[in-house]
Amino acid sequence: MTTGNHEEKGDNSVRTTIIRQHREKADLSFRMLESKTGIAVSRLHRMEHRRECVWKRDVERLRAAIPTLENEIIADNDRLARFVEEDE
């Protein structure tokens, strides 16, 4: 179910995107990621919350800043950030 600016699972927990999961694991704030990628904080926030498309150059910049993203599929076919799979 989608409500407001995030998607909820049946148990009312919020689903996390791949970008957010890896950003948090790398202990990077939006500001720190902005300085490493050159992507504005507002765009990063919108991408992380699936309100902004993730383009090829964004993927390259994010992978350069967060090495753990290297082998991850960051965006779905709709170009929005992909959710973390249930088993991850």
Q: Which two tokens stand for residue 28?
A: 């990077």
How much is the mean pLDDT over the chain?
88
Which amino acid is present at 56?
A: K
Give tens-digit pLDDT for 34-73.
999 999 999 999 999 999 999 999 999 999 999 999 999 9
pTM of the model: 0.81
* Third-level CATH fold of 17-88: 434 Repressor (Amino-terminal Domain) (1.10.260)
Q: Domain map of the chain by residue range?
A: 17-88
